[in-house]
A and B are shown apart, each in its own frame.
Chain A
Amino acid sequence: MTTKTQIANRDIVLQIKDLRKSFGDNDVLNGFNMELYQGESLVIMGKSGSGKSVMIKCLVGLLESDSGYIRVMKNDITKLDQEALDILRADIGFLFQGSALYDSMTVRENLEFPLRRHTKKFGEHIDAEALVIEALENVGLVSAIDLMPSELSGGMKRRIALARTLIMKPKIILYDEPTSGLDPITAKEIILLMQDIQRKYGTSSLIITHDVDCARVISDRMILLIDGIDYAMGTFNELAKMDDPKVKAFFKH
């Protein structure tokens, strides 16, 4: 785990200022702020429906924010055109809650799919096969290369989704509830895999979760998203010791 001082000396790769988003009368985000540093693991915790997924979707341009500033690697994504946004997205990996594997494609095709549009990043002559094998080796599932998603277990799907994210060699990986729906053993395997990947590639990770065990193991820093704002911030131990009843509620077991 990296210390606070070590992190503060690094570059900011992702920054959100005063992010607001509402759906009709429902104000989901009411001025959310955060910064993610190079090589850091930042966990955002919040109750179900607190706006964690909305925030992460605003980050990659899947949802348009009502107001606020989102800077990803020095680019204000609210001002990028579609082409520039697509190029930037090659550097951002996104692991979806339900894995989101393309169920009409084999594992190999799933992994090759993002490569089709990013020839600029890898050059015109991509060795797709080598990249697919490398990504699958990272998650220990080379043997599943020709299987269909329907033939995989929940944990395997999550690993393949992670491999699909890794194939683009992203600088930032966004994890949306990476352990949800998995049994404790598989969840632990996924967490260890996430740590391995971060060590190996030096990626910055933003993890959205409500799994306290996951947060304890993986986080360098944590933000609690309550009432649509960054209610509390600190390391896991700092937050766990806080007296605020809203913060305490997260750490009760």
Chain B
Amino acid sequence: MIGLRQIKSQLINFFIEVGEISYFTKRFFIEVFKRPFETKEFLRQCYQMGNRSLLLVGITGFIIGLVLTLQTRPTLMEFGAVSWMPSMVSISIVREIGPIITALVCAGRIGSGIGAELGSMRVTEQIDAMEVSGTNPFKYLVATRVLAVTLMLPLLVLFGDAIALFGSYLVENLKGNVSFLLYFNKVFDALEFGDILPATIKSFFFGLAIGIVGCYKGYNCKKGTEGVGKAANTAVVLSSLLLFIIDFIAVFVTDIFYDL
């Protein structure tokens, strides 16, 4: 009986949280188009989230490209298909690995950062102070951050993809003596508009999910400093889970369009 009651209360809490996040998202879409726009804060957030993530995304992308090529090369050689390497690597990176890995890295860096920053502002009453001064903290803090991460993530994905392909080229160049021009000619021959567009669209949704979850957890943080840690942690866990769900839906929808 106790077990059933616990499951019931957890289910109720889950649905309450889903409802609250949906309302939070709706409020974001209302506030983001309302004047006055917080342009300065938005640009500051773009710099913080975009520029300051470049190194991490670059290193991750480079290693992914390197490892993917090193791991795949022996199998392709076995089938005498090593010349397919640029096509295979580029499609897998652009369509799937690049967006999801970059999004996961950003969920860790940006999502936890937003959760901790807003959580700390909440427990030290800074958000309340903004509210009582007659300014709109949701618009200033949430709308700018969510919009910034939504717009920056596709750019970071493109950057990560480019670095990953460069990493892959380096392995091919060292192991197979393939020139830069030949490698990237093959890459661009293999890639189609239908590979890049769905990946870019889903990257926007990845960014939106990271921003909304990070801001929601931080903005509604409770229980002092313990709550700040929890907000940062749950922001990463929940947004990572959401990324996979969005990825699944995106692949499913893209597949329907390919079949048409």
Q: A-side interface residues toward B, CB under 8 Å?
A: 57, 60, 62, 86-87, 89-90, 92, 94, 96-98, 100-103, 113-114, 116-118, 164, 168
Task: Provide 20 A-B residue pairs closer than 8 Å at the C-beta atoms, listed in order of the A residue.
Answer: A57-B128, A62-B131, A86-B134, A86-B135, A86-B136, A87-B134, A89-B132, A89-B133, A92-B132, A96-B125, A100-B128, A100-B129, A102-B121, A102-B130, A103-B124, A103-B126, A113-B130, A114-B133, A117-B135, A168-B133
- Decide if A62 touches B128 in the complex (CB within 8 Å): yes
B132 CB to closest chain A CB, in angstroms?
A: 4
- Decide if B125 touches A100 in the complex (CB within 8 Å): yes
- Decide if A98 touches B133 in the complex (CB within 8 Å): no
- Could you say which residues of chain B place their CB within 8 Å of the CB of A164? 133
CB neighbors of A among B113-146 (8 A): 121, 124-126, 128-136
A101 in complex: contacting residue of B126, B128, B132, B133, CB < 8 Å: B126
- Could you say which residues of chain B place their CB within 8 Å of the CB of A96? 125, 128-129
CB neighbors of A among B196-235 (8 A): none
Q: From known contacts A97-B125, A100-B124, infer whether A60 and B134 are also in contact, taking CB-CB under 8 Å.
A: no
A164 CB to closest chain B CB, in angstroms?
A: 8
- Could you say which residues of chain A place their CB within 8 Å of the CB of B132? 60, 62, 89, 92, 94
- Decide if B124 touches A98 in the complex (CB within 8 Å): yes
- Could you say which residues of chain B place their CB within 8 Å of the CB of A114? 133-135
- Could you say which residues of chain B place their CB within 8 Å of the CB of A87? 134
Q: Range of interface residues on chain B?
A: 10 to 19
In the complex formed, the residue of A with least CB distance to B123 is A98
- Decide if B135 touches A94 in the complex (CB within 8 Å): no
- Could you say which residues of chain A place their CB within 8 Å of the CB of B130? 102, 113
B91 CB to closest chain A CB, in angstroms?
A: 42
Q: From known contacts A94-B129, A100-B124, A101-B126, infer whether A113 and B135 are also in contact, taking CB-CB under 8 Å.
A: yes
How far, in angstroms, from A102 to B130 measured CA to CA in the complex?
9
How far, in angstroms, from A96 to B134 measured CA to CA in the complex?
15
B18 CB to closest chain A CB, in angstroms?
A: 22
How far, in angstroms, from A87 to B134 measured CA to CA in the complex?
7
How far, in angstroms, from A92 to B129 measured CA to CA in the complex?
12
- Could you say which residues of chain A place their CB within 8 Å of the CB of B121? 102
